[in-house]
Chains A and B, each alone.
Chain A
Amino acid sequence: MKRIVPVLGLCGLLAFAPLPAQGADWKMDPAGSKLEFIATFEKAAAPGEFKEFDARLRFDPDKPAGSRLEVTVKVTSADMNVADVNKEIRGKDWFDYAAFPQAEFRSTELRRIEGNRYVARGTLVLKGVKQPIEVPFSWTASADGAVMEGELLLSRGAFGIGTGEWTASDVIGADVKVKFKVKLRKAR
C-alpha cells in the first residue's frame, strides 16, 4: 500500500500537468491544394501557378500561439500559361531556376485576428532573398480535415524578381498577388 500511494500521486500530477500547447500536426493534400501568383502585364492580370509545393503545419485553431507553418515551393514548377513566358521566367532576370530552384516560408509567430481568420508572420526566402512577410489565412475545418485559404501582396522587386531593364514596373507591375488554398489532413 505504502508503495502504491506515491505512484498514484505521480499519476495525479501527470494528469494535471499542462500539456505543451502545440496543437495537431497537419499534412497537405496536394490534390486539393493550389498556390497561385498573379502578376500584371500592362495592367492586365497575368496569372501563374506553382504546381509543386508542400505545407506542413502544427496548429490548434483554438490555441494558435504555439503553432508553426512551413511551406516549401518548387519554384521551377511555375507555370504562367504562356509558352514564351514560361521560357523567359527561368532566366537569371526572373526566378533563376538554376541557382534558386526552391523557395521557403517559415513562420515565427502565428495568431488569431478574429473568428476563423489568422495570420502567420515569418520569413520568406525567395531567389535567395530573405524577407519578413505576413501570411493571412482563414481556417475552415471539415469532417476529413481542414482548408486554409488566403492571399497576400508581394513586391517582386524586394526579391529581385525581374532585374535589369525589367525592374521598371510600367510594363510588368511591381506587385504580385499570391493566392493559396491548402487542403490539410491530420497527420497520424
Chain B
Amino acid sequence: MLRNTPDSWGAPAKLFHWVMAALILAQIALGVMAANWRVSPTKLELFFWHKSTGILILALVALRLAWRLANPVPLLPSGMAAWERAAARLGHLFLYALMIALPVTGWIVNSASNVPFRIFWLVPLPAIVAPDEPTADFVAEVHGGLAALLALVLAAHIGAALWHHFVKRDTVLERMLPRRAP
C-alpha cells in the first residue's frame, strides 16, 4: 500500500520517516563533531559530510512534504486530550520547520563564509547570500541554537511515541513501523 489511509502510513511515508530519522541523527553527530574538532583534515572532512548530508536532507524534506500534502494524514487515536492533540500537531510542525530551517541556515553559513563546496564532490553549491564574516558568525550561532532545539523536539517526539506504545497502548508507533510479513 503506497498511499496513506486514515489509520496508517503508506510505504513511501514510512521510508521517508526512517531514512530521514537515520540521516538526522547522523547529521547531528557530524555537526557536533565538526564544530568541536581541532583544525585538521578530519575537521574539514566532517564538515564536508555534514554539509553534503544537510543538502540531501533538504531535498528529501521537500519531497516528503509534497508527499504528505498529497496524502491523507492518519488520524490521531480517539481519546486523546485536546492539549495532547495540540502538542502532537505543534511537535510535528516544529520538526518540519526545523528540517527546513537547519539546512537553510547551514547553507547561509556556507555562503557567507565563502567556503567552496561541492555536494558529495559532485555539484557546486551556489551561494544564497553574499560573503560576509559577521553574517556567517551570527547565522552559525542561530544554526547551533536550532540544532539544540531540534534535539529537544526529537527527544519529545521519541518520548511521545514510546508513551503511546507502552503507556497508552495505541497504534501510533506501530503504524509507522515497517509492515511485518503476514
B-contacting residues of A (Cβ < 8 Å)? Answer: 41-47, 81-85, 88, 165-166, 168, 170-172
| B45: chain A residues within 8 A (beta carbon) | 42, 171
Count chain A CB atoms within 10 A of each CB in B44, B48, B115, B133 and give the residue with the most.
B115
Within the complex, which residue of B39, B40, B121, B131 is in contact with A43, where a contact is CB–CB below 8 Å? Answer: B121
CB of A41 within 8 A of CB of B116, answer yes
Name the interface residues of B96-137: CB closer than 8 Å to any CB of A.
113-118, 121, 124, 131, 133
Count chain B CB atoms within 10 A of each CB in A45, A84, A172 and give the residue with the most.
A84
| A170: chain B residues within 8 A (beta carbon) | 41
Given contacts A165-B40, A171-B48, 10 further A-B contacts (CB under 8 A): A41-B117, A42-B117, A42-B118, A44-B117, A44-B118, A44-B121, A46-B116, A84-B113, A171-B44, A172-B41
- A sample of 6 inter-chain contacts (CB < 8 A) reads A41-B117, A42-B118, A43-B118, A44-B118, A83-B133, A85-B115
Q: Rank and list the top 7 A-B pairs by shortest CB-CB distance, nearest first.
A: A44-B116, A171-B41, A44-B118, A43-B121, A42-B48, A46-B116, A81-B114
B interface residues, how many (CB within 8 angstroms): 16
- Interface of A: prevailing SS: mixed
Inter-chain contact count A-B, CB under 8 Å?
41
| B118: chain A residues within 8 A (beta carbon) | 42-44
Q: How far is the CA of A43 from the CA of B48 in the complex (A)?
A: 11
* A42 CB → nearest B CB, Å: 5
| B41: chain A residues within 8 A (beta carbon) | 165-166, 168, 170-172
Q: How far is the CA of A168 from the CA of B44 in the complex (A)?
A: 13
Which of chain B's residues has its CB closest to A167's CB? B41
Q: How far is the CA of A65 from the CA of B44 in the complex (A)?
A: 47
Which of chain A's residues has its CB closest to B121's CB? A43
Q: How far is the CA of A42 from the CA of B100 in the complex (A)?
A: 25
Which of chain B's residues has its CB closest to A43's CB? B121
| B131: chain A residues within 8 A (beta carbon) | 81
| B44: chain A residues within 8 A (beta carbon) | 41-42, 171-172
* B144 CB → nearest A CB, Å: 16
* A40 CB → nearest B CB, Å: 8
CB of B121 within 8 A of CB of A42, answer yes
Which of chain A's residues has its CB closest to B39's CB? A88
Within the complex, which residue of B113, B121, B124 is in contact with A82, where a contact is CB–CB below 8 Å? Answer: B113
| A166: chain B residues within 8 A (beta carbon) | 41
Q: How far is the CA of A139 from the CA of B115 in the complex (A)?
A: 34
Which of chain A's residues has its CB closest to B117's CB? A44
* B5 CB → nearest A CB, Å: 44
Name the interface residues of B36-72: CB closer than 8 Å to any CB of A.
39-41, 44-45, 48
Q: How far is the CA of A82 from the CA of B133 in the complex (A)?
A: 8
Which of chain B's residues has its CB closest to A40's CB? B116
Q: How far is the CA of A46 from the CA of B44 in the complex (A)?
A: 13
| A85: chain B residues within 8 A (beta carbon) | 115
